Amino acid sequence: MPSHKINPNNWINLYSDYLFNYTISRVNDREMAQDLVSETFLAGLKSMANFKGEASERTWLISILKRKIIDYYRKINSNKGKAEVRMSYNSDSDAEGDWLEERVADPFDKTAEDTLENSELGDAIYDCLGKLPEKQAEVFKMKTILGYDTETICNELDITASNLWVIIHRARAALAGCMEKNWF
Amino acid sequence: MSKLKLSCQEANHVCDKNQYKEANFWEKVKLNIHLIYCKACRKYSANNGKLSKLFKVSKVEAMDHNSKEKLKSTFEKELAKHQ
């Protein structure tokens, strides 16, 4: 059932932040994540003919991205011996004499469940952001996630400060409603 | 409007600013006074705070503006070849 359509014109606006967020939680390197996202888009463009419409565009792009991330890990591990896990218990000299127990991750600090919940929360946030009008989403992301100050955003997007606050207010109200439904 | 009273619209604006730590002391005082007697704004403030907290704990990331523009231009060049 080809119910989903493919339209690459809007890919960057619609999915780049979502894909980036997905990648950064897995590779932990901004530069690398950006490269992977850009590669994903280009690869998607090349194999557009293979898009059958069984899944949404976003799911389809994520499946490409997953391969890219796996490839990335293969590449950095391809040098012989790098793949094996090496542990040095006392690498930095200033920690000499510390108890080994102190270096074990604190089980109360972060559990697997927390991380899982965090990544799900990230997905939920991006789902809600995706429902906002493009302009609102853009301004809101710059302000909240990237933490740019008001002046920078105003210059970048050529809007006034009061304009920005109105946009932020609408975005926050809509997002709060959306998250209320999907998360709490 | 007296010195200590805000309209609901102003109160919401201060509340929004406060989410980014951009409200000054007097604005915060006035907001809190408004919240004492305005139920609707209390609700908005609570939700707004919850939303900010969600963003803080989720640690979501986004691409910064410049690299997005760069990505856009590379992609559009490639897109033109395909159409």
Report the pLDDT averaged over residues A20-30: 83
Across the interface, which of A20, A38, A165 has its CB nearest the CB of B62?
A20
| Top-ranked range on mean pLDDT: pick from A118-122, B21-25, B76-80 | B21-25
A17 chain-B contacts, CB cut-off 8 A: 62-63, 68
Give the DSSP H or E segment for B40.
helix B39-58
Please name the residue of chain A whose CA is at the shortest distance from the CA of residue B66: A156
Identify from B58, B73, B79 which residue to disrupt to test chain A contact, counting A C-beta atoms within 10 A and taking the largest count: B58
* pTM confidence score: 0.73
* The predicted structure's pLDDT at residue A1: 45
Asked whether residue B1 is assigned to any structural domain, the reply reads: no
Give residues 25 to 84 of A whose Cβ lies within 8 Å of B.
25, 34, 37-38, 41-42, 45, 48
Q: Tell me the C-alpha to C-alpha distance, in Å, between residue A72 and each of A34, A68, A75, A79.
A: 13, 6, 5, 13
Chain segment B52-63, per-residue pLDDT in tens: 988 888 777 888
CATH code linked to domain A8-77? 1.10.1740
Pick left, alpha or beta for residue A133 (phi over 0 → left; psi -120 to 50 → alpha; otherwise beta). beta
In terms of residue numbers, what domain contains B50?
8-82
Residue spans of the domains in chain A: they are 8-77, 119-184
Total of domains in chain B = 1
pLDDT digits (tens, 9 = 90+) for A136-158: 888 898 888 888 888 888 988 88
For chain A, give the percent of residues with pLDDT over 90. 8
Contact B14, B8 (CB under 8 A): no
Of B51, B60, B75, nearest to A41 by CB-CB distance is: B75
pLDDT digits (tens, 9 = 90+) for A63-92: 999 999 888 888 877 765 555 555 555 555
Name the residue facing B61 among A21, A41, A175 (closest C-beta): A21
Q: Looking at chain A, which residue has its C-alpha nearest residue B80? A: A9
Q: In the prediction, which pLDDT does B26 show?
A: 92
Judge whether A144 is closer than 8 Å to chain B, CB to CB.
yes
Q: Chain A: nearest CA to B80, how far in angstroms?
A: 10
Show the tokens assigned to A131: 């429902």
Q: Which two tokens stand for residue A148?
A: 């740019």
The CATH code that applies to domain A119-184 is 1.10.10.10
Residue A172: closest C-alpha in chain B = B48
pLDDT (0 to 100) of residue A91 = 56
Pick from A139, A141, A137: nearest CA to A162: A139
